[in-house]
Amino acid sequence: MNTSPRLRSLWPLLCSAPALLLPTLAQAQSPAPAPAGRSLVALYDAPTITRRCTAELKATRTAIAAMEKGRDPARLLADFNRLQLRSASFGNPVYLLANVSPSKTVRDAAQACVEKLSPLSTELYQSVPLYRRVQALQPADAVDARYREELLENFEDSGASLPADKRARAKAISDELEVLGLAFQKAVNEDPSTVTITVAEAAGLPEAWLKERKRDAEGRLVLGMDYPTVVPFLTNASNEEARRKLWTMFQNQGGEANLQRLDRALKLRHELAQLHGQPDYATMVLKRRMAQTPQAVEDFLQGVRKALDAGELRELAELRAEKAAQLGLPLEQVQVQRWDTSFLQERLKRSRYAVDQEKLRAYFPTDASVAFAIRLAERLYGVRFVAAKVPVWHPEVRYYDVFEADGKTFVGSVYLDLFPREGKYNHAAAFGVVPGSSLAKLRPASVLVTNFNRQGLDHNELETLLHEFGHVLHGVFSQTRYADQAGTSVKRDFVEAPSQMFEEWARRPETLAVLAEVCKDCPRLSAEQLQQLDRARTFGRAMRYSRQWQYASYDMALHTGTPKPALATWVALEKSLPLGYVEGTRFPAGFGHLMGGYGAGYYGYLWSEVMALDMLSAFQGRLMDPAVGRRYRELILSRGGEVPPQAMVEAFLGRKPGTEAFFREIAGQR
């Protein structure tokens, strides 16, 4: 997942952490780029956040007022860039802190500060004087023209072109939506839910997993909702009732309050669309994206559904037969439940392909896997990662300066926050904490936040690592003129493409061979094992894509037409699918994407994969070809949002992108 900007966000690239190193505005415009992590360090405690928050709020409003009075057209875009960098230098680290600080006091202070700062975006883009200045601007070149176009879209989407009364209402809606989104994610991050089971009920889990779990006074296992706990348990625990309990609790993260927040957000988004003269939120949002219309998305999703129907039913039948065989019951007496699917798929993969995800952790030790991701980037894109000691928000956080291959030219900064802890963002995501800007001579910094097993990764987690690292590289390689267009600040239905493409480097013998370069003592998978691993990966493909289709269809259902109750809409959709709905669960309460920028945009995961698989064809099967890698870095990763995605992909491929590779993939024909 990428935490790229929300609609009209004043902060181009937001993040999550407790204490961070950040450049001041003066340093952001120094004569030569320097490592952001070495310029100025501000270790934010709660009182500092609160004090600085008030000062930054006042300073930003003063800067906006000064821009409104400006008269020099030649300085206007540079002034916007300077304002965005100022806001990012404080706001991005504070947003990071709200998500990953080990201190609840710091997280709470950061959350309160972000809520105070969130209205600034709408205030900026509702400024009629600034709107008129941008309208009158004559851009100097194509980059300036693109930035001017995006600024005008931000002004229009924020309500600058609306009558005063509607503009005021649009601001109130936007401000409330920001607060709802922050509260929603905080409720998920800090959800205290646990499930207590006996050691016997954890049969099937490896000893190393058991040793890392908390115990109560009676020696029972206390299972939290973090991924290193939940995913291995649902995949390996042979006790169906224990799986049911943990799966059900996991589906209820966020609680009833989050359902109320989501319902409120849906009504506000619809009202916002109405203010803008649009029939619904999806129509309003999609006009700024590659898809452009809800109908285009619906047509695309219908094509996906048609391609998956037969395969999903076939896979479910195989799981049902496996469960019947395990239980020794006639097929007609057996029903596959949602908490069964991961477990049954894993059993079939072991029996058919001799692939055991837990045993794969020995092949992919966590430190070696991180070194593997770094070495891939170094070889493919011609850079060097140099570890350095800098102040960080937790002792386990790692920091790297990234240089060109010559070791002299600084590219950007990378932080890795890899392991779970209480109160931390509990999924995997990349956070852009410093937006790059060639105009300001400022290099970018990105943070990778995951919740990995310390001992090793299974193959699914290795793919997750490369996926999120793909987002990080998209941010770090950014060389855009303006901060607003830096890195992952691209159209929402393209933002996942670079990260999805990089997943392929976790699957190929040619690329996995690089692991031996960074871990000579790691066991190596044989050619036969790699073939089996690939076959195992493709097993269950239809069900995986069907789940993505379900999420995307649900998102579109919520945002197309008049608002619908979030939970009831989910229940109706689940009941229409083969596995059905499990009474008492409320998955939407923990579906952070819908409140974190992916509203009317979750389809982008599938849409982006169309681009990703087509771009992959440029490598012609040679994924470690540095010439293609450098060209990809130059034409795609470095350009951020300066160029429309369609044009970037066409330039890279030398032709218009197509859907053939994607539909071959979901049909299992690749």
Summarised one tens digit per residue, pLDDT across range 499-527 is: 999 999 999 999 999 999 999 999 999 99
Contact 337, 585 (CB under 8 A): no
SS3 content of the chain, % helix, strand, coil (to 5): 60, 5, 35
**Euclidean distance between CA atoms 146 and 490, whole angstroms:** 12
pLDDT confidence of residue 494: 96
CA–chain centroid gap for 328, Å, is 42
User: Tokens standing for 125?
Assistant: 């883009």
- Side-chain-facing half-sphere of 322: CA atoms under 13 Å: 21
Using only C-alpha atoms, the chain has a radius of gyration, in whole angstroms, of: 24
Model confidence at 24, pLDDT cuts 50, 70, 90, reads: very low
Q: 584: phi > 0 → left, psi -120 to 50 → alpha, else beta; which?
A: left
Task: State which H helix or E strand residue 414 sits in.
Answer: strand 410-417
Model confidence at 667, pLDDT cuts 50, 70, 90, reads: confident
346 CB contacts (<8 Å, ≥6 apart)?
235, 236, 356, 357
Which residue is associated with the tokens 């875009």?
A: 77
pLDDT confidence of residue 43: 58
Burial class (CB in 10 A: 0-12, 13-18, 19+), 279: middle
pLDDT confidence of residue 44: 78
287 CB contacts (<8 Å, ≥6 apart)?
293
Contact 377, 412 (CB under 8 A): no
Give the pairing of strands 410-417 and 398-404: antiparallel
Handedness of CA 419, 421, 425, 431 (dihedral sign): negative
User: Tokens standing for 244?
Assistant: 């049911």
For 246-263, letters b (16+ CB in 10 Å) and e give bbbbbbbbbbeebbebbb
Is the pLDDT confidence value at 124 over 50?
yes
**Euclidean distance between CA atoms 412 and 37, whole angstroms:** 9
**Euclidean distance between CA atoms 646 and 597, whole angstroms:** 21
Q: Which of 19-23, 426-430, 558-562 has the highest mean pLDDT?
A: 558-562
CA–chain centroid gap for 150, Å, is 22
**Euclidean distance between CA atoms 323 and 346, whole angstroms:** 12
**Euclidean distance between CA atoms 301 and 298, whole angstroms:** 5
Is the pLDDT confidence value at 466 over 60?
yes
Beta bridge partners of 383: 404
Model confidence at 17, pLDDT cuts 50, 70, 90, reads: very low
Burial class (CB in 10 A: 0-12, 13-18, 19+), 507: middle
CA–chain centroid gap for 62, Å, is 33
pLDDT confidence of residue 22: 34
* DSSP string covering 549-594: HHHHHHHHHHHSSS---HHHHHHHHHHTSTT---TT--GGGG-GGG
Is the pLDDT confidence value at 8 over 50?
no
Model confidence at 10, pLDDT cuts 50, 70, 90, reads: very low
Is the pLDDT confidence value at 634 over 70?
yes
Is the pLDDT confidence value at 426 over 90?
no
Contact 636, 642 (CB under 8 A): no
Summarised one tens digit per residue, pLDDT across range 27-36 is: 333 334 545 4
264 CB contacts (<8 Å, ≥6 apart)?
176, 180
Percent of the chain with pLDDT over 70: 93
pTM over 0.85: yes
Beta bridge partners of 215: 221
Is the pLDDT confidence value at 26 over 80?
no
**Euclidean distance between CA atoms 621 and 83, whole angstroms:** 44
Mean pLDDT in residue range 421-425: 93
Q: Which residues are catalytic?
A: 468
pLDDT confidence of residue 35: 54
**Euclidean distance between CA atoms 158 and 270, whole angstroms:** 14
Q: Note the residue count of the chain.
A: 670
* DSSP string covering 367-383: HHHHHHHHHHHHHHHTE
Beta bridge partners of 20: 42
Mean pLDDT in residue range 557-572: 98
Give the pairing of strands 221-223 and 214-215: antiparallel
The alpha helices in 104-239, defined as continuous H runs, are 104-117, 119-125, 128-136, 142-158, 164-189, 207-212, 227-236
**42-56, 344-358, 624-638, range with the lowest pLDDT:** 42-56
Summarised one tens digit per residue, pLDDT across range 76-103 is: 999 999 999 999 989 999 999 999 999 9
Give the pairing of strands 41-42 and 20-21: antiparallel
Contact 496, 609 (CB under 8 A): yes
**168-172, 220-224, 530-534, 578-582, range with the lowest pLDDT:** 530-534
| For helices 459-476 and 366-381, angle between their N-to-C axes, nearest 10 degrees | 40
- Side-chain-facing half-sphere of 156: CA atoms under 13 Å: 15
430 CB contacts (<8 Å, ≥6 apart)?
1, 2, 3, 446, 447, 448, 449, 468, 469, 471, 472, 474, 475, 488, 499
**Euclidean distance between CA atoms 463 and 468, whole angstroms:** 9
Mean pLDDT in residue range 260-287: 98
pLDDT confidence of residue 1: 67
